[in-house]
Homo-oligomer: A and B are copies of this chain.
């Protein structure tokens, strides 16, 4: 249970950050992860991953489909779904169930339970890695005699940037 740090105190990126860096980092990590596992990060899979990382807003499979159609010849839905399934199996993307959409994983390679904050105003999703939440979930489920395989936490709400200008000490 080597936990690098308790959690990330700022899961939402600043509005203006160097996003190309997010993308290249993600692609680099993906290459490493796939190489380590002997999995083939083909051209399509790479492009789909890149499109998922196009922004921090979860991307629907058909959004990706449309965007991919602009980069290369038309591809059909199964192609995209297959790529997404591959990326998910490698831990490179997460699926946001409540949105039927996908986001890039911030911590590929480190097994973790998905924890997502979804802003209903700006549409961005941020991944948390709060060890205390994960521990609480694992403990609760274990006590219930449940053999846990894939826990996810999804929270809908307002990100710091989208909240009204702070009435009183409610933050």
A98 at the interface (CB under 8 A from B): yes
Give the segment of A16-24, A53-61, A73-81, A157-165 that binds chain B. A157-165
A72 close to B (CB within 8 Å): no
Contacts of A11 in B (CB 8 A): 144, 146
A31 at the interface (CB under 8 A from B): no
A163's closest neighbor in chain B, by CB? B147
State how many residues of chain A have any CB contact under 8 Å with chain B.
43
B133 to A117, Cβ gap below 8 A?
no
Say whether A152 contacts B154, CB under 8 Å.
yes
| Chain A, interface SS category | mixed
Which one, B10, B128, B145, B151, contacts A153 given CB within 8 A?
Answer: B151
Give the distance in Å from the alpha carbon of A163 to the alpha carbon of B147 in the complex.
7
A141 at interface by CB-CB < 8 Å:
yes
Cβ < 8 Å to B, chain A residues 1-16: 7-12
User: Residue A34 at the B interface, CB < 8 A?
Assistant: no
Question: Can you pick out 11 interface pairs between chain A and chain B where the beta carbons lie within 8 Å of each other?
Answer: A9-B144, A11-B144, A128-B140, A135-B136, A136-B136, A136-B137, A142-B171, A148-B157, A149-B155, A151-B156, A152-B153
Shortest C-beta distance, A103 to chain B (Å), equals 15
CA distance A74 to B155 in the complex (A): 36
In the bound complex, residues from chain B placing their C-beta under 8 Å from that of A140 are: 7, 115, 128, 130, 132-133
A139 within 8 A of B: yes
